[in-house]
Each structure stands twice: as C-alpha cells, then as structure tokens.
C-alpha cells in the first residue's frame, strides 16, 4: 500500500551534487511539507521505507556504531547554507564535558545546543530555527537568545576530558538564508 510518493531530480531546490550520504533522499522530519526540497536530506541508510528516518532527531542522536573514535572532531554542518534547520555532527575520543554553542558575526552567543557530559562516540544534533528561535529553553537542554537573521553564524564545540588532560575546541562557519 502506497503511503507517500515524491519525484525529484538534481535541479534546485533538490541536492545538485553527490554528497556521499546515500543513493536516495528521506524526509528530515515527518511533520515537514514533503513537496519542499528543504524538507529532505540525503539518506544515510539508502532509504528507510516504513521506518523512522535516520535524519529525524528530536535532540542529540548518538551513532550506534561500536567503533570509538580515536580523535576529537567537529564536522561541517549539512545542509549549508540552511533554512530552517541544519545537522551538526561531532565525535569524541574519550568521555568529556561538552559545550556546543552558536554565535553571530559579532561573537554574541545566540544558542547553546549541548552543555553536559558525553561518552566517547559520534553525535549529531539538529539546529532547528523553529525550535530554538523563540527565546525559550527546550526539553533537550537546548536554549537560545532570540530570533535569527540571515547571515553567517559560527558554531563552536568545546570538549574537556573527564580527567582534564585533553582539551578540544573547534569552530565552523554556517550560513542561514531566509
């Protein structure tokens, strides 16, 4: 029984270049309008018909892989530019106290996405303007300081190992287009 169907190509607003994320697209969030290109992302598992989409997260998503990373890394957000949401991923080599914050061009903090202890592993979180743009604390621990204008933003990951011997900090740039 067909539940939903969509035809797309490699012209705007759909992804125009291979990104290595899969051979198909999946709806980022089942509540989004499926006729809009921004509502879709490259499939991680080559499509998940009848299952929860791999890109739909309501908070922090931990990779289920048994492999523990050997180094700390902050990855480039996807999509970039974005509107209304983008996924930010990182990996931790050891259990650490982690903060992930978003800053505007002037260096003002506009959102705190993560603030707490995390085990070694690979993580991702969706920075969603609909969830973080209302100057309110969210159930997943995300907080923000207001609405967002189009422009360049920076996100910063800081991780300090539990024993205090390893410190990691990285900043990446992302662009919001409204």
pLDDT digits (tens, 9 = 90+) for 49-60: 555 555 554 455
Q: Are strands 167-176 and 25-27 parallel, antiparallel or unpaired?
A: unpaired
Region 22-43: mean pLDDT is: 63
Token pair in block for residue 175? 């662009």
Q: What gap in Å lies between CA 25 and CA 18, rounded to an integer?
A: 11
Evaluate whether 154 touches 103 at the Cβ level (below 8 Å): yes
pLDDT confidence tier of residue 70, bands split at 50, 70 and 90: confident
Residue 40 has pLDDT above 70, yes or no: no
Instruction: Identify whether the C-beta of residue 129 lies closer than 8 Å to the C-beta of residue 151.
Output: no
Query: Using one digit for the tens of pLDDT, what is the confidence trace for 112-150?
Result: 999 999 999 989 999 988 765 433 333 334 445 557 889
pTM of the model as a whole: 0.60
**Which of 30-39, 78-87, 132-141, 147-156 is the least confident region?**
132-141
Domains along the chain with CATH numbers: 1-56 (no CATH), 57-176 (2.60.40.2550)
**pLDDT at site 68:** 80
Say which range, 41-45, 54-58, 65-69, has the weakest mean pLDDT: 54-58
∠ Cα 86 114 56 (to 5°): 40
The residue that leads in pLDDT, 171 or 10, is: 171
pLDDT for residue 178: 81
70-79 average pLDDT score = 92
Query: What CA–CA distance (Å, rounded) separates 70 from 63?
Result: 15
């Amino acid at each position: 029984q067909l539940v939903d169907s969509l035809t797309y190509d490699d012209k705007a607003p759909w992804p125009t270049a291979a990104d290595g994320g899969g051979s198909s697209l999946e709806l980022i969030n089942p509540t989004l309008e499926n006729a809009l290109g921004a509502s879709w992302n490259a499939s991680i598992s080559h499509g998940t018909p009848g299952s929860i989409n791999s890109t739909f997260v309501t908070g922090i998503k931990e990779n289920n892989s048994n492999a523990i990373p050997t180094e700390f890394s902050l990855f480039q957000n996807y999509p970039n530019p974005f509107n209304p949401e983008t996924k930010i991923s990182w990996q931790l080599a050891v259990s650490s106290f982690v903060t992930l914050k978003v800053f505007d061009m002037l260096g003002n903090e506009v959102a705190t996405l993560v603030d707490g202890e995390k085990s070694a592993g690979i993580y991702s979180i969706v920075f969603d303007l609909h969830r973080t743009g209302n100057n309110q604390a969210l159930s997943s621990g995300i907080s923000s300081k207001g609405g967002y204008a189009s422009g360049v933003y920076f996100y910063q990951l800081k991780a300090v190992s539990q024993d205090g011997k390893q410190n990691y900090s990285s900043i990446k740039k992302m662009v919001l287009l409204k």
